[in-house]
Amino acid sequence: MDAMILAAGRGKRMRPLTDFTPKPLLQINGKRLIEYHLEALANAGFRRVVINHAWLGEQIPAALGDGSRYGLVISYSDENGNALETAGGICKALPLLQSDPFLAINGDIWSDFDYSRLPASIHSLAHLVMIPNPPHHPLGDFHVQGNSVHDSGEPKLTFSGIGLYRKKLFAGCDPTQAAALAPLLRTAMQQGQVSGEIYHGQWQDVGTPARLEQLARTAGPD
């Protein structure tokens, strides 16, 4: 299965750290945030990874190269400095993704989630990894009932930014237009086409300098 790391965001909440460095290249205890993802993917048996980039995007392939140092083959989807948001970025990168389904990971999270535990195939259009609501997102996103994920219902949990997707979810998308993922997921949920699981391990949204510092304390050395 192929994996995609979503790395095109501007990282406005992380300023001034992201004024001259794209957020995925910020370091935690001497290692770039995106490298934690790459190493975890390689350890889980993934071999092909697509990374999209926009803001200061040229720095990302310059830093990571072809992926061989991580035991991976990395392809890049260049959004030419204009981030296409999550669904738009995935839509543009679809020609580079050979597997169906594929894994997509938000580049600004950190987790000890083991990607090898994900199902090898899915019958739904999407399979989301959900987590207990963190302090900065107390209301959650979606309701999990059994192994199904719904837009309505309580309690709601938080989407981790880790998901499996089938290409059909993005049918009709425009690879030149910015588009959010949530509307596509909600439509699929209304059709009973989103499955999921709940993860209780370590997870952090690395969205602000304070949370970056907190992660550096809790994640420990490499």
- pLDDT more than 70, % of the chain: 98
* CATH code (residue 7): 3.90.550.10
Query: Which residues are 2's β-sheet partners?
Result: none
From the number of C-beta atoms within 10 Å of its C-beta (0-12, 13-18, 19+), residue 222 rates as: exposed
In the numeric block, which tokens belong to residue 13? 């909440």
| Structural domain of 161 | 3-219
Supply the pLDDT for residue 221: 44
Query: Which residues are 6's β-sheet partners?
Result: 52, 106
Is the Cα torsion angle 130, 134, 136, 141 positive or negative in sign?
Answer: positive
Please give the C-alpha separations between residue 20 and each of 15, 40, 212, in angstroms, as whole numbers: 9, 26, 17
Collapsed DSSP state (helix, strand, coil) of residue 132? coil
Pick the residue with more confidence: 23 or 98? 98
Supply the pLDDT for residue 219: 66
Supply the pLDDT for residue 222: 45
Supply the pLDDT for residue 81: 82
When the pLDDT of each residue in the chain is averaged and rounded to a whole number, the result is 92
pLDDT digits (tens, 9 = 90+) for 92-129: 999 999 999 999 999 999 999 999 999 999 999 999 99
Total number of domains constituting the chain = 1
The pLDDT of residue 133 is above 80: yes
The reply to whether omega before 221 is within 30° of 0 (cis) is no
pLDDT digits (tens, 9 = 90+) for 161-215: 999 999 999 999 999 999 999 999 999 999 999 999 999 999 998 878 778 877 7
Give mean pLDDT, residues 22-28. Answer: 88
Chain centroid offset of residue 116 CA: 16
- In eight-state DSSP terms, residue 68 is G
How many residues are there in the chain?
Answer: 222
Amino acid found at 93: A
Q: What is the pTM of this model?
A: 0.93
Supply the pLDDT for residue 96: 98
The pLDDT of residue 139 is above 90: yes
